[in-house]
Amino acid sequence: MQVYEIKKDIYWVGAVDWTVRDFHGYSTYEGTTYNAFLMLGEKNVLFDTVKKPLTSDLIHRIRTIIDPAKIDYIVVNHVEMDHSGALPEIVDLVKPEKIFCSKMGHQNLLAHFHKPDWPYHPVEDGEEVKIGDRTIKFLETRMLHWPDSMFSYIPEEKLLISSDAFGQHLGTSERFDDEVDEAELLYQARKYYANILTLYSPLIRKLLEKVQEMGIEIDMIAPDHGVIWRKNPGKILELYDDWSHNRGNRRVLVIYDTMWHSTEKMAKAVADGVESEGVSVQILDLAVNHRSDVVTEVLDSKGVILGCPTLNNGLLPRMAGFLMYMRGLRPTNKFGAAFGSYGWSGESVGLLNKTMEEMKFDLIHDGLKIKYVPDHSSLRECVELGKLMARKVKEALD
């Protein structure tokens, strides 16, 4: 099995998951990787493991470099099972002297594996461990995105092993950012942030400030998913800073579901109104766009207009599911509006507004409801709603 030396005597020994297509509700149509790293030296250190079904991939890669029994330490940066699933088998094989983890990581490892006899070594935030001529500095990153999360920084190599931060769900035989298509890489990085880290944006801003204050030099970022940033690691740091501020771009999304195409007609008219004001617009039909791809577009759009007809005094299931998903991520600093068709009760627009209010969207309109099929006069109202949103976005960003 192929391994990659990412720094002198530091190797990628992880696994590629070519077939995974869903990651707890997030579509992973390019698969993913579970990255693990082996550092050789006075003490041999394994950073993280892989998802349990891919344990053999990890073991075989380690064996191409050293006998696994020669590994002295294991570092668990994050306890989530896609990175720790292989841990019980690896611990049995390696019999490590120490398992480094955060204090919360210690609790979570016990709660996951019920192994009180493992040689845990919980570390403090900022604690350093000297390993020959190298140092591992542990940086606690609680709630990015689990309570146990931490980074491992090796200052002599300017290498940041960043756990679930700065990653991408991207299954590929290439290991580095400069070896893959940049547009695809940045899209997958944006999708990863939008679907996993948006909720924690305030903590990310604090973390980036902390790294800057500490003067940490970084020339390579090795996340637990996707490719390693070696060409320009500063690029992903800049993007995280931008995304964490939730500023939004000069763009409006029209996100809708429809029953008998009346709401679809309204959606197109709303989008025409946005476009007529010279603002970029994207129409997203929930019947053909996965919620995780839609949320990715929400990340950097300033305006969000939701459309849904009324079904049984409520919303269509796809819209209801999307709202629950988006509400959990809590995107901020958005303008919002709602529209929808109805037959006899018409609750959908009010429900859309309520959800956006809960997310603290700035509603620009009370909402537009059209009975049954919109006529030309009704569609003109939809165009005006789109124009209003576009003007709000321009005023905020121009």
Residues marked as catalytic: 24, 78, 80, 82, 145, 164, 192, 225
Secondary structure of residue 379 in the 3-state scheme: helix
Q: Whole-angstrom Cα distance, residue 50 to residue 305? A: 40
Q: Which two tokens stand for residue 96?
A: 């490590």
Q: Quickly tell me which residue has 């394994």 as its tokens.
A: 46
Secondary structure of residue 229 in the 3-state scheme: strand
Burial (CB count <10 Å: 0-12, 13-18, 19+), residue 288: exposed
Q: Are 219 and 176 in contact (CB under 8 A)?
A: no
Q: Quickly tell me which residue has 């303008």 as its tokens.
A: 335
Q: Give percent helix, percent strand, percent coil of the chain, each to the nearest 5.
A: 40, 25, 35
CA-based nearest residue to 35, from 59, 65, 15, 5: 15
Contact residues for 356 (Cβ-Cβ < 8 A; gap 6+): 304, 306, 334, 336, 338, 363
Secondary structure of residue 210 in the 3-state scheme: helix
CB atoms within 10 A of CB 62: 24
Q: Which two tokens stand for residue 168?
A: 């991408």
Diameter of the chain measured on Cα atoms: 78
Q: 188-199 burial, b if ≥16 CB within 10 A, otherwise e?
A: bbbbbbbbbbbe
145 upstream amide cis, omega within 30 of 0: yes
Q: Are 336 and 304 in contact (CB under 8 A)?
A: yes
Burial (CB count <10 Å: 0-12, 13-18, 19+), residue 181: exposed
- Please, which residues bridge with residue 136 across strands? 129
Burial (CB count <10 Å: 0-12, 13-18, 19+), residue 296: buried
Strands 10-12 and 37-39: antiparallel
